[in-house]
Amino acid sequence: WGGTMSIEVYVKYDSFNSYSKVFDFGNGAGSDNVHLYNSETTSTITWNVRQGSTYKGIWTSNFDSFTWTHIIVTVSDTTMKVFKNGVLVKTKTDGYEPNALTRSYHIIGARNWDSMSGYMDGTI
Protein backbone atom coordinates (compact mmCIF):
# COMPACT_ATOMS: atom_id res chain seq x y z
CA TRP A 1 0.00 0.00 0.00
CA GLY A 2 1.00 3.62 -0.42
CA GLY A 3 -0.10 6.88 -1.95
CA THR A 4 -2.87 9.11 -0.61
CA MET A 5 -3.95 8.01 2.85
CA SER A 6 -5.50 8.91 6.20
CA ILE A 7 -4.96 7.15 9.52
CA GLU A 8 -7.14 7.80 12.55
CA VAL A 9 -6.34 6.85 16.16
CA TYR A 10 -7.48 7.52 19.68
CA VAL A 11 -4.50 7.55 22.02
CA LYS A 12 -3.91 8.15 25.72
CA TYR A 13 -0.29 8.52 26.88
CA ASP A 14 0.52 7.79 30.53
CA SER A 15 4.14 8.92 30.08
CA PHE A 16 6.39 9.90 27.17
CA ASN A 17 9.18 7.42 26.55
CA SER A 18 11.84 8.19 23.99
CA TYR A 19 10.30 8.26 20.49
CA SER A 20 7.47 5.96 21.55
CA LYS A 21 5.39 5.01 18.53
CA VAL A 22 1.63 4.95 18.24
CA PHE A 23 2.25 3.00 15.01
CA ASP A 24 5.17 2.21 12.73
CA PHE A 25 4.54 0.52 9.39
CA GLY A 26 7.67 -0.22 7.36
CA ASN A 27 10.42 -2.59 6.32
CA GLY A 28 12.69 -2.23 9.31
CA ALA A 29 15.10 0.48 10.36
CA GLY A 30 14.44 3.62 8.36
CA SER A 31 13.02 1.80 5.36
CA ASP A 32 9.75 3.13 3.86
CA ASN A 33 8.27 3.78 7.31
CA VAL A 34 4.96 5.49 7.97
CA HIS A 35 4.82 6.42 11.64
CA LEU A 36 3.20 8.53 14.35
CA TYR A 37 5.00 9.10 17.65
CA ASN A 38 6.08 11.56 20.34
CA SER A 39 9.36 13.40 19.68
CA GLU A 40 12.23 12.43 22.00
CA THR A 41 10.73 12.31 25.53
CA THR A 42 8.38 15.25 24.89
CA SER A 43 4.66 15.24 24.11
CA THR A 44 5.24 16.73 20.62
CA ILE A 45 3.16 14.99 17.94
CA THR A 46 5.39 13.69 15.12
CA TRP A 47 3.97 12.40 11.80
CA ASN A 48 6.61 11.08 9.37
CA VAL A 49 6.60 9.38 5.98
CA ARG A 50 9.78 7.82 4.63
CA GLN A 51 10.49 7.09 1.00
CA GLY A 52 13.33 4.62 1.36
CA SER A 53 15.53 6.11 4.07
CA THR A 54 14.70 9.81 3.54
CA TYR A 55 11.76 11.34 5.33
CA LYS A 56 9.42 14.30 5.48
CA GLY A 57 7.46 15.04 8.59
CA ILE A 58 5.44 17.31 10.82
CA TRP A 59 6.23 18.21 14.43
CA THR A 60 3.33 19.99 16.10
CA SER A 61 1.10 20.53 19.10
CA ASN A 62 1.12 17.91 21.83
CA PHE A 63 -0.35 14.58 22.77
CA ASP A 64 -2.32 15.01 26.00
CA SER A 65 -1.20 13.08 29.09
CA PHE A 66 -3.76 10.86 30.81
CA THR A 67 -6.48 12.05 28.40
CA TRP A 68 -7.87 10.44 25.27
CA THR A 69 -6.73 12.37 22.21
CA HIS A 70 -8.24 11.89 18.76
CA ILE A 71 -5.57 12.16 16.05
CA ILE A 72 -5.99 11.99 12.28
CA VAL A 73 -2.95 12.17 10.01
CA THR A 74 -3.29 12.51 6.25
CA VAL A 75 -1.11 12.75 3.18
CA SER A 76 -2.16 13.55 -0.37
CA ASP A 77 0.42 14.33 -3.04
CA THR A 78 2.84 16.69 -1.20
CA THR A 79 0.40 17.84 1.50
CA MET A 80 0.63 16.29 4.97
CA LYS A 81 -1.79 17.23 7.77
CA VAL A 82 -2.33 16.56 11.46
CA PHE A 83 -5.74 16.96 13.11
CA LYS A 84 -6.12 16.86 16.90
CA ASN A 85 -9.56 16.46 18.43
CA GLY A 86 -11.19 17.54 15.15
CA VAL A 87 -9.04 20.65 14.64
CA LEU A 88 -6.38 21.00 11.94
CA VAL A 89 -3.20 21.82 13.90
CA LYS A 90 -0.52 21.66 11.18
CA THR A 91 -0.13 21.42 7.40
CA LYS A 92 3.07 20.72 5.48
CA THR A 93 2.95 21.38 1.73
CA ASP A 94 6.33 19.92 0.76
CA GLY A 95 5.87 16.39 2.13
CA TYR A 96 5.34 13.21 0.17
CA GLU A 97 3.18 10.13 -0.01
CA PRO A 98 4.45 6.70 1.06
CA ASN A 99 5.85 4.57 -1.76
CA ALA A 100 3.36 1.96 -2.98
CA LEU A 101 4.86 -1.34 -1.82
CA THR A 102 4.40 -4.21 0.59
CA ARG A 103 5.62 -3.35 4.09
CA SER A 104 6.87 -6.28 6.16
CA TYR A 105 6.17 -4.83 9.60
CA HIS A 106 2.98 -3.26 10.99
CA ILE A 107 3.72 -2.40 14.59
CA ILE A 108 1.39 -0.75 17.10
CA GLY A 109 2.87 0.79 20.27
CA ALA A 110 6.54 0.20 19.36
CA ARG A 111 9.15 1.00 16.73
CA ASN A 112 10.65 -1.00 13.88
CA TRP A 113 14.22 -0.44 15.05
CA ASP A 114 16.88 0.35 17.67
CA SER A 115 16.92 0.66 21.41
CA MET A 116 16.62 4.49 21.27
CA SER A 117 12.87 4.05 21.13
CA GLY A 118 10.72 3.21 24.09
CA TYR A 119 7.47 1.32 24.03
CA MET A 120 4.36 3.44 24.06
CA ASP A 121 3.21 3.82 27.68
CA GLY A 122 -0.52 4.25 27.40
CA THR A 123 -3.54 3.02 25.49
CA ILE A 124 -4.35 3.05 21.78
Task: Using alpha carbons, select from 58, 59, 94 the residue that is nearest to residue 79.
Answer: 94
**H or E stretch at 119:** none
pTM for the full predicted model: 0.93
pLDDT in tens, 13-71: 999 999 999 999 999 888 899 999 999 999 999 999 999 989 999 999 899 999 999 99
